[in-house]
Structure formats: C-alpha cells, structure tokens
Structure 1
C-alpha cells in the first residue's frame, strides 16, 4: 500500500483510501489499484475534490462497473452514508480495449457491462472484516480479470505507456517537442499516440502533472512563495501558473492554498 495522495486536492477530507501497486503481470495495463471506503454519519456529506491523472479508470462499485474517461478539470463527488469504490488507473496501452475514442469519454463516467468482474470484486469487498485483507483480495480479483480479458499490449501501446511515463515523471518535459524528441518520434506521432491512447493532448498531460505538483507543494508548504512555486515547476511566471489553476481547478493558487489549510472533512 502507498500513502501517496498526489492528485487529491484535500487529503484531510479523504475517507479510508489506499493505492496498491499493480502486479508485474499487468503492469503494462494498470498503473495501480485504488480503493476508497466511507461511512458518513446520517445527514452529513463528505465532498471529495480530485485533479485526476491524465488517464482513464475502470471502477467497481456495489451496484455497477464504471468507465471514467480522462478529465479536463477538477472533479468532485459527494459521499453520503456507507459505500466503497475499487478502481484501476489504466495505463494508455489498456485503453483501446475499452474504447476506440477516449476523447469521447472526456469528463464522463458511465456504466459498462462486465458482470464477472463486478461479482468477483463485490465478493472480495464484502467477504472480510479486515480492511487490508479485503483490499488485497479486491486487487487480486481485478488482476485476474485483466489477465483473462485484456490482451498483452503491442509495440505502439507500449510506446504510449513510455510517453505517459515520461510526461508524468520528468519535470524537464514541458513542451511537445520535448516529448517527441525523448521518444524518438515526430511531434505528429506523439499527438496521435495521445489521441488514441489517452484522449488528451500531450500539452494537456504536461499541464496536469505541473498542476498536481504545484498544488501538492502549496498544500504541504503553506508558507511557500507562489512565484517560486511557478518557477520551480517550469512556468514562465506567476500569472501563467494562476491561469492554469483557474482553468483546471477554478480558483487561484493562493485561494487553493488557503482552502487546503481550512478544508473540513465534512461539509
């Protein structure tokens, strides 16, 4: 399990949440599994705010299996009562198994028909009183389903994975030309890979990483200077950072920093 909360805008308001690494056998298909469980007091609501990774997710909830396409802005979900969700953060190479047009699913979440996956994960999540045990069993059920149903990716899919890894882990990658040059492909090829396997442009993927990293810095270091944060994450100036924050998060860096220090788990 990992305590990594990157992408979660207000970790203090999280319900029980864990991320489990993907087993080696499906590492080219799933980046990790994530599991949320909650039990909110009657009459209360826990609003979750997320700036998602530039990727799609396959999720299992008590009532259905869902497919969530890539997001272009922050997303929210209001949690009430008791419940859970088990999700797989998909690597780009897995996406064509679920859709030929990931951009058509942008900012959308809807049910898909995978009854065997649903039954296996529900059984795991309801079969043990031990949280760690049921989380591991749910991840194992998900893994088995992927092994049986999603084919091993080909060369192009693996190249799309390499592109996503490069953008997500190399903070010096700030332009399309950086992506193309380090992959050894043309800019047009990099754009085509992103369109087919992600549903966002390389520029949008880069912007997502920078906003995630900048928001994490502002949240964890409330005394940090916003202009310095902008420079550290490759922005030309503070105004550029502020524009990205307003576009994707709907608030300024300063407003986010204040909100993250005051945010209450229950609203």
Structure 2
C-alpha cells in the first residue's frame, strides 16, 4: 500500500488533511483522493513542501481544475486565508484519460475546461457529507472521461505499482524483469503513461522513504540508511537528496 503522507516533507505543518479511496468505478483510475482544508489567521502563510509521487494529479478548487504533471524536484505551495482543494493522484490509466503526452507536463500544469465539474465540487464542499460527495462526483467524472480501460492501461497500472512500492526493485533492469518485459518496453510505457523514465520513478520512491525514515527516527545513521535503501554510499544518498529536495539529509533532519 502506498503511504499518502510519505511525500509530505513536513507533515506537522499540514492543514486539515483527508485521504480517501475512490469509488469502485474509478478504482483503476485513481490511487487516492487527497483533500486539504485550511483556515489561517489574516497575514499567516503556511508553506507546504512536497516531494511528489511520480504521477499526475487532477486538482480542483473553487478557481478551476488543473492537470498537474510529474515533478522532477521538490515543490511547495503557500496557503493563505481560507480554502480547500480536491486532488486525485492519478493512476496511469486515469492520466491517459486526460492527456496523451504526460512528458509535456513535466514540472508544469495546465487548466482543464470542466466548469460543470468545478461547480459540482464547489457546491459539494459547502454541503453536508462533503468529502463523500466530492469523491463520488470526481470518480464518476473521471470514469466518464476514460470510458473503456484497456489491457495496456492495466499493464501500465501494474508497472507504476511495482516502481512506486516494490522496495526490492532498485534498477530499471530489475523492474523490467519483475514485469516480464524488455527494458525498452518499460521505458516506452513510463514515457507514455507517466512522463518520467523508470529510474527516476525508482529514485523518487527511495528519496521519499529516506525522508520518512529521517522523520520517524532522527537518530538514524545516514550510512546505514543509504545501504538499506540501495545507495552505493552515504555520499550518493546526500547527492540525490540535495538535487531533488534542495538540501542535504543532515539539514532536513535538523529542520524536523
């Protein structure tokens, strides 16, 4: 099971946060829904730092709907005032319903023309049982956009599950072998459905786990942690950490 909080770098700074499963109609399209709500004092700013999962997200707020592409580095969003967002972490089959070129959205986002969806979600968030209703609304909308789910879509879902959850897979070659496909086929599949190469997806999973372990056990020995996660050495882990998160693991640990 993928941990929804793993990519949040400073969980204690998060506003009210909900994680919900999709309806059965969208189970092959969405990993989970994430719904933050916040109500901050005037002038206050809450910065949310995230090292996102290697996937696309559908994000809906009262201002509109966006398709957010996969990221290559940690990102942040500053929250102010009062508000909410409804996000869906898309599985590859779900991403394919909204774009044929996820690589073109790398470190970018686009607006989606879905006024009826935005209006329905906005109304639901103001009413009773808001969380259940928005999940039902967005799940039904995505299922309608997708239509028939192909065998290729399901193969891509399985691919992403292996790359994002299987700790035994540490190289693209190992992933290809686990999925019983050639390395070239795996590379084409991740490009078509996610927009990132397989090794980058594996590295993201390992970095997320490294950050989570440092949060859970600040006394962790970095050399032992690097070895446990399959890094060549402490320096390799530090270089990856600095490249993606913008800071070395020692600083990240000190900021918890």
Partner of 2:96: 96
2:165 corresponds to 1:185 = no
Q: Partner residue of 2:80?
A: 80
8 Å CA contact 1:38–1:83 kept in 2: the answer is yes
Q: Please identify runs of 4+ aligned residues in structure 1 that moved more than 6 A.
A: none
Consecutive unaligned residues of structure 2, counting only runs of 5 or more, are none
1:205-216 map, 5 Å: 205-216=201-212
Task: Report what 1:230 is aligned to.
Answer: 226
- Residues 105-139 of structure 1: per-residue CA shift (max 9 Å, x gap): 111123110122111111110113xxxx2111111
Q: Which moved more, 1:135-144 or 1:250-259?
A: 135-144
RMSD: 1.3
Q: Distance in 2 between matches of 1:4 and 1:154?
A: 27
Q: TM-score, normalising length from structure 2?
A: 0.96
Pairing of 1:1-267 with structure 2 (within 5 A): 4-128=4-128, 133-260=129-256
Q: Structure 1: how far apart are the matches of 2:230 and 2:24?
A: 33
Maintained 8 Å contact 2:23/2:135: no
1:95 Cα deviation after fit: 1.6
For the residue of structure 1 that corresponds to 2:232, the secondary structure is coil
SS at match of 1:174: coil
Q: Using the alignment, how far apart are the partners of 1:194 and 1:91 within structure 2?
A: 12
Normalised to the residue count of structure 1, the TM-score between the two structures is 0.93
**CA separation in 1, counterparts of 2:250 and 2:193?**
34
Aligned residues of 1:3 and 1:19 also touching (Cα < 8 A): no
Structure 1 residue runs of 5 or longer lacking an equivalent are 261-267
